[in-house]
C-alpha cells in the first residue's frame, strides 16, 4: 500500500480563493525519501502544509488508504510528523523536555513511555544536556533539533520537514540526515523541502515545483537539476586592508556554563571589523555568532564581548536578524524596505529606487513585488525583503545573520553579487552555517568555536 497518495491536489492559503499550488499527483512509498525543490515563492511550504492536512485543499489525499476527508481527520494526522520552516514558531513549552514530550502526551501514552521517548530522542539529537533549558533561548540550529525531536517522538509513519537542516552546522546536518536514514529503514516515508544540497543528494527523488505552483512531469513534478545553472558570481572582494578598520571586537573566554547571551569560546578572540569588504563569522550551532553580531549592532548585551569603535562615522551599523518575522512589521513590501532608510535620513523616493534596484538584482520585478503584502510572502521571499530593507539603508556596517537561510540556489548566487557590490562601500559582516556559500562569496572567515568542514569545501582559511 502506498504511504501517501495525492490526486489532483490543489492547496489554498487559509481564506484565499485561488490555490497556491495546483494539480499535484503524487505517490510515496513506505521508506521513500522525496525532496522538494524550486525557486522562492513557488509554494513548497504551502504544498507541505497541504500534504499534512493543515491547509485547505481540493482533490484527493490519502494516507495508508485513509482519505483526509474521512470522519476523523485528527486520527489521520496522528500518523504524520511536521517540522515547520521557522522552528521558533513551533515551540510551545518552557523546557526542551516538555517540548519533546508534547506529542506523546497528546497521544495518551503512559509517563514511563513518554520519558523513554524523550530520553531516546534527546540523546540521538544531542539535546540531553539541554532538557531543562528554555527552547526559546536556544540558537536557531538547536531549536531546529528540538522541533525535529518533538516530531519524531510521536513515532509517525510520515514525516514532512520544511528545510529541517537550514540552520544547522555541517555536523548537525549530517547527524539529522543519518536520523532520517534510520527512520526510512523502519518504513517511515519522508518528504523534505530541501534546504541544502546534501538533502537532495541523499533523497530517493528530487521533485521540482515550478514558478507559479504549476507542476509537470512524473508524479506531477519536473526533475530538479542538481547543479546551480545560474551563472557564477564574479569574484567578490575580500577584506580591504587599505582602509582603517571600523571597529575591534574582543571576546573574553567563557567561564563556566554561563546564562543569557554568551559566546562559547575557550580562548580570547580578537575580531577586526574592516573598513570595507566581507567578514564571515563561522562556527557550530550555539557558538555565539549571533551574539557577536548583536553586540556590534548595539542590540545585545554580553559581558564577554567588548566593541571598540575606531571609525564613529554615521549612520550606525544595521543588522538583519536570523528570523525575518522578528524584524518585519509593515503590511506592504514598499513600506518595509523604505522604513529604515527613511528613518536614517534618506528620502523615501530615493530609498524605494535603491530597494527596487536591489530586488531587480535578486531576480524580482520591483514594480510587482514591492506592491505585495509582506504576510502573503513565502519564508524565502520575506528573507529577501528583510535583506533589501537592510542593504538599502545607509549604514557604517552591515550585519547579516544567516542571510542565505531559505533561499534557493539562484537567489544565493544573485545575493553574492549584491553583497559584493555593497561591501565595496561599507563592510559586511556575516554569521552563517553556509560554508560552501562563503567560499563562493570569497569572504574572510573568522572562526568562533570548533569548525568541522563538510566534504568538498576547500580553500577556506580562518581569520
130 and 257 part of one domain: no
Nearest to 334 by CA among 371, 384, 383: 371
Q: SS3 for 277?
A: coil
204 and 271 part of one domain: no
Residue 236 lies in a domain: no
Residue 367 lies in a domain: yes
Nearest to 386 by CA among 457, 308, 327, 450: 327
Model confidence band, residue 217 (pLDDT cutoffs 50, 70, 90): very low
210 and 351 part of one domain: no
Tell me which of 25-29, 63-67, 201-205, 232-236 is least confident. 232-236
292 and 368 part of one domain: yes
pLDDT, averaged across the chain: 86
Q: Give the integer Cα–Cα distance in Å for 111 and 451.
A: 39
Is the pLDDT at 199 greater than 80? The verdict is no
Q: Give the integer Cα–Cα distance in Å for 155 and 281.
A: 37
Q: Give the integer Cα–Cα distance in Å for 191 and 417.
A: 32
What local confidence, expressed as pLDDT, does residue 453 receive?
Answer: 52
399, 357, 277, 461 alpha-carbon torsion, rounded to 10°: 80
Nearest to 405 by CA among 140, 149, 192: 140
Question: In Å, what is the CA distance from 41 to each residue of 93, 199, 214, 280, 377?
Answer: 31, 20, 12, 27, 7
C-alpha 452, offset from chain centre: 20
Is the pLDDT at 40 greater than 50? The verdict is yes
Using the 3D structure, point to which of 223, 257, 275 is the last residue of a domain: 223
Cell of 188: 517511515
What local confidence, expressed as pLDDT, does residue 120 receive?
Answer: 96
Residue 228 lies in a domain: no
Residue 242 lies in a domain: no
Is the pLDDT at 152 greater than 90? The verdict is yes
269 and 324 part of one domain: yes
197 and 284 part of one domain: no
424-458: pLDDT as tens digits: 999 999 999 888 888 888 788 888 876 555 554 44
Is the pLDDT at 237 greater than 60? The verdict is no
List the strands of the sheet with 318-320, edge to edge: 318-320, 398-401, 428-431, 278-282, 444-447
What local confidence, expressed as pLDDT, does residue 220 receive?
Answer: 37
Range of the domain at 416: 247-447
425 and 307 part of one domain: yes
What local confidence, expressed as pLDDT, does residue 229 receive?
Answer: 31
193 contacts 22 by C-beta, under 8 angstroms: no
Residue 31 lies in a domain: yes
Model confidence band, residue 210 (pLDDT cutoffs 50, 70, 90): confident
Q: Which residue has the higher pLDDT, 329 or 210?
A: 329
Q: Give the integer Cα–Cα distance in Å for 346 and 340.
A: 9
Q: Please report the beta strands in 226-268, taking only residues with DSSP state E, as ranges in sequence order.
A: 247-251
DSSP assignment letter at 91: -
What local confidence, expressed as pLDDT, does residue 5 receive?
Answer: 94
Q: What is the mean pLDDT of the segment spanning 199-218?
A: 69
93-142: pLDDT as tens digits: 999 999 999 999 999 999 999 999 999 999 999 999 999 999 988 888 89
Question: Roughly how many angstroms between the first and final C-alpha of the chain, as a whole number?
Answer: 55
If one counts the domains in the chain, the total is: 2
79 and 168 part of one domain: yes
Tell me which of 64-68, 164-168, 216-220, 443-447 is least confident. 216-220
287 and 414 part of one domain: yes
List the strands of the sheet with 66-67, edge to edge: 21-28, 4-11, 57-63, 66-67
Q: Which residue has the higher pLDDT, 234 or 36?
A: 36
Task: Specify the pTM.
Answer: 0.78
216 and 273 part of one domain: no
278-316: pLDDT as tens digits: 999 988 888 899 999 999 999 999 999 999 999 877 788
Residue 435 lies in a domain: yes
186 and 271 part of one domain: no
71 and 169 part of one domain: yes
The CATH number of the domain holding residue 113 is 3.40.50.300
What local confidence, expressed as pLDDT, does residue 112 receive?
Answer: 96
Residue 165 lies in a domain: yes
191 contacts 161 by C-beta, under 8 angstroms: yes
Percent of the chain surpassing pLDDT 70: 87
Model confidence band, residue 463 (pLDDT cutoffs 50, 70, 90): very low
Residue 461 lies in a domain: no
Amino acid at each position: 500500500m502506498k504511504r501517501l497518495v495525492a490526486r489532483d491536489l490543489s492547496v489554498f492559503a487559509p481564506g484565499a480563493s485561488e490555490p497556491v499550488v495546483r494539480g499535484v499527483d503524487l505517490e510515496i512509498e513506505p521508506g521513500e525519501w522525496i525532496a522538494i525543490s524550486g525557486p522562492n515563492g513557488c509554494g513548497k511550504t504551502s504544498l507541505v502544509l497541504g500534504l499534512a492536512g493543515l491547509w485547505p485543499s481540493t482533490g484527493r489525499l490519502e494516507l495508508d488508504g485513509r482519505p483526509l476527508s474521512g470522519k476523523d481527520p485528527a486520527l489521520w494526522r496522528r500518523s504524520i510528523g511536521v517540522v515547520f520552516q521557522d522552528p521558533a514558531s513551533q515551540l510551545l513549552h518552557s523546557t526542551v523536555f516538555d517540548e519533546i514530550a508534547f506529542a506523546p502526551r497528546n497521544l495518551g501514552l503512559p509517563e514511563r513511555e513518554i520519558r523513554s521517548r524523550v530520553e531516546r530522542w534527546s540523546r540521538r539529537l544531542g539535546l540531553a544536556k539541554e532538557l531543562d533549558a528554555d527552547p526559546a533561548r536556544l540558537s536557531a540550529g538547536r531549536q531546529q533539533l528540538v522541533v525535529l525531536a518533538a516530531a519524531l517522538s510521536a513515532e509517525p509513519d510520515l514525516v514532512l520537514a520544511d528545510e529541517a537542516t537550514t540552520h544547522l552546522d555541517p555536523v548537525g546536518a549530517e547527524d539529522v540526515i543519518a536520523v532520517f536514514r534510520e527512520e526510512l529503514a523502519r518504513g517511515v516515508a519522508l518528504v523534505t523541502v530541501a534546504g541544502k544540497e546534501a538533502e537532495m543528494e541523499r533523497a530517493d527523488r528530487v521533485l521540482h515545483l515550478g514558478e507559479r505552483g504549476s507542476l509537470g512531469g512524473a508524479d506531477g513534478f519536473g526533475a530538479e537539476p542538481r547543479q546551480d545553472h545560474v551563472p557564477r558570481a564574479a569574484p567578490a572582494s575580500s577584506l580591504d586592508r587599505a582602509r582603517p578598520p571600523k571597529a575591534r571586537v574582543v571576546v573574553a573566554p567563557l567561564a563556566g556554563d554561563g546564562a543569557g547571551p554568551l559566546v562559547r569560546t575557550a580562548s580570547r578572540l580578537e575580531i577586526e571589523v574592516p573598513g570595507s569588504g566581507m567578514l564571515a563569522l563561522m562556527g557550530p550551532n550555539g557558538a555565539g555568532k549571533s551574539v557577536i553580531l548583536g553586540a556590534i549592532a548595539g542590540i545585545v548585551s554580553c559581558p564577554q564581548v567588548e566593541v571598540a569603535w575606531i571609525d564613529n562615522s554615521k549612520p550606525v551599523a544595521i543588522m538583519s536578524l536570523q528570523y525575518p518575522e522578528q524584524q518585519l512589521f509593515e503590511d506592504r513590501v514598499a513600506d518595509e524596505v523604505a522604513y529604515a532608510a527613511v528613518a536614517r535620513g534618506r528620502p523615501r523616493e530615493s530609498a524605494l529606487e535603491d530597494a527596487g534596484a536591489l530586488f531587480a538584482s535578486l531576480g524580482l520585478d520591483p514594480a510587482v513585488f514591492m506592491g505585495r503584502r509582506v504576510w502573503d510572502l513565502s519564508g524565502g521571499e520575506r528573507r529577501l525583503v528583510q535583506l533589501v530593507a537592510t542593504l538599502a539603508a545607509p549604514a557604517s556596517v552591515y550585519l547579516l545573520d544567516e542571510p542565505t537561510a531559505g533561499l534557493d540556489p539562484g537567489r544565493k548566487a544573485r545575493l553574492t553579487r549584491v553583497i559584493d557590490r555593497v561591501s565595496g562601500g561599507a563592510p559586511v559582516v556575516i554569521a552563517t552555517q553556509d560554508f560552501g556559500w562563503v567560499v563562493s562569496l570569497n569572504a574572510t572567515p573568522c572562526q568562533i568555536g570548533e569548525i568541522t568542514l563538510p566534504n568538498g569545501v576547500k580553500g577556506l582559511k580562518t581569520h
